[in-house]
Amino acid sequence: MPLRKLGFLSIGLFDPDDPGAGHETTLQIIELGERLGFDSAWVRHRHLQFGISSPVAVLAAATQRTSTIELGTAVMPLGWENPLRLAEDLATVDILSGGRLNPGVSVGPPMHWEDVRGSLYPDTADREDFGYERVERLLRFVRGEPATTFRGPEGVVEEWSDRVEPHSPGLADRMWYGGASLRSAEWAAEHGMNFLTSSVVMAEDGSADFAAIQAEQVAAYRTRHPQGRVSQGLVVIPTDSASAEQRRRYEEYAAARLPRTLEPQGPGRLLFSPDHVGTSEQIAEELEWHAGYQLVDEVAFALPFSFEPDDYVQILTDMAERLGPALGWSPAAA
């Protein structure tokens, strides 16, 4: 099917000695994406690393520098978040954006849990729930269900609401769940969420066929929630206008990551997709044979983590001007 929506995903790396420059680069990339006609721009999180630690704050800034492009998080791990407070932040940014926010979330304990638990939850670490119920709480608050038993006037000027404020009515329909397992795909569908599938899946049956596993998850989701949106987030690097030096670095990057794609990794049986590097014509042909891609009509192609700003400009420009059209996509501005 023709590609309906083209998006991209950035990790927002920065130099710890000059973090402002990296955050500014991320905002400039989002602005460029809007000028090129991308439908969406997504940011990842990197807690206690040198990438975006507060995607909601970064996207709040992006709302004031863009006007049409959708803005998403892919994804925020809810183990680091208080669902009520996060619901307030998400609604606020959605209001600021004019209804363009697409929050993506996931569950599970924070990474390096044993190292960070004393700082994150010093008094409640053993009682915190890092499962799906945490998402359900967030969904209830975003949908406007009661968050307190008290409402009404207090004193001379105070007025209390029993729901999260501000309330953004359309936000609940733009909530996404980022999952890598069949159960996650099914759960997202059963709870009315959209589904983000990335370049990582769980090889639960021991298979090493990434595309087939991803296709199974997408099909299971669509069976349970036909109206839901599914977005695919592979690493895609078109080289049409790249210099010889850029092509060399891109190919070396993909080659270094290739071994992890050959068999499931670690106790979680995680299977990674190979990166797609080549001309737009070559990548389009690869994707047309990709069983997972065949079942989606929108993507958020992931930008490689460690490239330079000029590399991202070249990659995004080729995506919008060459790869997208080769996949049947038309720029949003058109």
Architecture of domain 5-182+194-214+229-326: Alpha-Beta Barrel (3.20)
| Mean pLDDT computed over 14-39 | 97
Statement: residue 334 has pLDDT above 60: no
Please state whether the predicted TM-score (pTM) of the whole model is above 0.85. Answer: yes
Q: What is the rounded average pLDDT for all residues in the chain?
A: 96
Would you state the structure tokens that stand for residue 108, as one six-digit string? Answer: 């599970």
| Mean pLDDT computed over 51-78 | 97
Q: How far apart are CA 270 and CA 256, in angstroms?
A: 17
Tell me the per-residue pLDDT of 93-132, one tens digit each, with 9 for 90 and over: 999 999 999 999 999 999 999 999 999 999 999 999 999 9
| Mean pLDDT computed over 60-85 | 98
pLDDT value of position 43: 97
Tell me the per-residue pLDDT of 3-18, one tens digit each, with 9 for 90 and over: 999 999 999 999 999 9
pLDDT value of position 204: 87
Could you give phi then psi for residue 51, rounded to 5 degrees?
-140, 180
Backbone dihedral region for residue 328 (phi beyond 0: left; psi -120 to 50: alpha; all else: beta): left
pLDDT value of position 319: 98
| Mean pLDDT computed over 275-299 | 98
pLDDT value of position 333: 62
Q: How far apart are CA 98 and CA 115, in angstroms?
A: 39
pLDDT value of position 305: 87
pLDDT value of position 207: 87
pLDDT value of position 332: 75
Tell me the per-residue pLDDT of 217-239, one tens digit each, with 9 for 90 and over: 999 999 999 999 999 999 999 99
pLDDT value of position 241: 98
CA distances 317 to 35, 183, 241, 285, 322, Å, are 10, 36, 9, 19, 8
Please give the share of the chain, as a percent, with pLDDT higher than 90. Answer: 95
| Mean pLDDT computed over 65-75 | 97
